[in-house]
Each structure stands twice: as C-alpha cells, then as structure tokens.
Amino acid sequence: MKRGILLVFIAFLLIDTAALAQSFYSVRRDRKLIGQLGFGTATYLGELSNERDYFDTRPSINLGAQIFLGRRVSVRSELTWYNLKGSDAQADPESGRRSRNLSFQSNNYELNVTGAISLFPNGVRFYQRSSFNIYGFAGVGVTYINPKTIYQGEKIALQPLQTEGVSYARVQPVIPYGLGIRIKQGPFFNLAIEGGLRKLFTDYLDDVSTVHKDVTTFNDPVAAALADRRPEIGRALAAPGTQRGNPRDDDAYFLLNVKLEYYLPITLGGTGYKKPTGNRIKYKKYRPGRRRR
C-alpha cells in the first residue's frame, strides 16, 4: 500500500517534467487539478483508549485529488490508510480498566469526498494564490474496519467471532471534518498541515461496546476466550450482563497529516492561456499600373 502510493506520486512528477520540457507556456497553463500525498498520525478514540493520549503515534498515509470550483471553494477525494491500536494493559491504574484485559489493533482504509472553504481568496491563476491560507473542510465517506487481537501468539480477527453476540459490518459510514493551513511552496507546490476528526456511527471500531455475554453460549472456544479475557491475568469470569463497553458513545478517530500538494499539468476546459487577439488590418497588394483608391 505504502509503496504503491509513493509510485503513483513519482509518476505525477515524471508527467509534469515531460510537460515542462514540451511547452514553453506550461507555467501559464490554468492548472486546476491538485494531487496530494500526506503522511501523519492516527489517534483512536474509544473504550480502549487512554483519555490522556490526545495524539497517538500510529501511522497514516493518504493520497488524493482536489479541484477549486472558485477562488475559495474546493472539492477533493482522498484514500487513506490508517493504523489504530488500544489496550487495557496500558490504561491508567486508577481507571480500573486493566482487569478487563481487552485489546485490539487494526489496519483500516477510508475513502471520502469533502468540500473546503478557504479564508483568503486565491488569485485568478493558480500561481497567483495566497502564500498562506487557512481552510475548513467537511464531507462524507466510508471506512473499512477490521479489529484484531493477539491470542496465543496469533492475530485473530474479532468481527467474525461476535464476542458480544452482535453482528456488525466492516464497511461503515464516516463524517470527516476539520481544519488546515496551507503554505505556498513555489508555483506548483503547497505544504498543508491538517487535523480532522472522523465521526463514526458504530461503537465497534474496537470490537467493544455493550455487555459481557455468557461464555457458555459460544460454540467457538476461541470466541469464548476472547469475549472475556480476565482469566488470562488470574481474574474470574465476568457475570453475564456485566458492562464490557459504553454503547452511549460511538467510537471515533483523529487524523493529523502533513500533505504535499502539487498542481498537476492537466488542464480542464482549455489551456487557460490564449494568444492576444485583435482587429487585423488587411492590406491590398499593390500592383504597378493600377490606380490606388
């Protein structure tokens, strides 16, 4: 995934280099399409997160494309890979969570479409944009979740086990929104720093939400073992119906990214550059012996 994103971005640069070599007026072209490549962190917000961990160090990578519809308004689409992790073993001792002994980790994907409004208007041409800008964005998307845990040295997918007796989908809707700053880096590049919260409509990003199920009702012994992991640390099984999570608050995650934005050598609706035109003066060819009028 990471290698593929990097190769695509390198291809964008090679395409532009060829375009610059072929056209003297390439800098004058009205480049409207922007390619984006970003790297950053993903912070998990749910039952297995620590309230003091405001910014996690889990990685995220995104690739996207953006187009300005006006001097302030733009629309973009992004594909993001992000990693999340949470564990009761790392919780604050005073929280009382360590006895629950649950944990998860996941590699997730998000595809979204968002609109953004910039504080300062851009120039008529792309290279006349503001050197510094602030923008807000919001939109819709979907995310693929697949929480797993380590059990007896192996990674086990939790969603098929239904550890709480609840079936949930791996593809979930998401609402991304946040703020960013954009800094001009020459005629073709921007550097953007962006933070965005992702609102989910599920509490099973981490496979933890409601209450403990009676482990004797599980047909799969692995599902029974992962539904209540207290015995692994010498604790007694929780009574059926005992609180396992908090269904009143859906899970969420936060992405903090640094993005390189590049104005692609692709023109939409013409080149954006026109040669000067005006009234042409027509001259009649003079022929000797003819009288000029």
Helices (H), 23-78: none
| Full domain range(s) for residue 26 | 2-263
Beta-strand ranges (E) seen in the chain are: 33-45, 58-68, 73-87, 103-118, 132-144, 148-151, 154-157, 171-185, 189-200, 252-263
Q: Which long-range contacts (CB under 8 A, 24 or more apart) does 25-28 make?
A: 25/271, 25/273, 26/265, 27/127, 27/187, 28/125, 28/272, 28/273
Q: How far is CA 202 from CA 113, 164, 166, in A?
A: 20, 14, 12
Is residue 62 in a domain? yes
Report if residue 71 sits inside a domain: yes
On whether residue 114 sits in a domain, the answer given is: yes
Tell me, yes or no, whether 48 lies in a domain: yes
Q: Residue 107 domain-assigned? A: yes
pLDDT of residue 32: 85
Cα(163)–Cα(222) distance, integer angstroms: 10
Q: For the chain, percent helix, then strand, then coil, each to nearest 5?
A: 15, 40, 40
Q: Is residue 257 part of a domain?
A: yes
pLDDT at 3: 53
Q: In this structure, is residue 286 part of a structural domain?
A: no
Token duo for residue 195: 């933070």
Task: Look up residue 242 and give its amino acid.
Answer: T
Residues of the chain with pLDDT under 70: 1-29, 54, 267-293
Residue partners of 289: CB distance under 8 A and separation at least 6: none
Which CATH number goes with the domain that contains 150? Answer: 2.40.160.20
pLDDT for position 291: 54
- pLDDT tens digit string along 276-290? 445 554 545 545 555
**Residue 290 resides in a domain:** no
Is the model's pTM score more than 0.85? no
Give me the amino acid identity at 31: R
CB–CB of 235/180 below 8 Å?
no
Number of structural domains found in the chain: 1
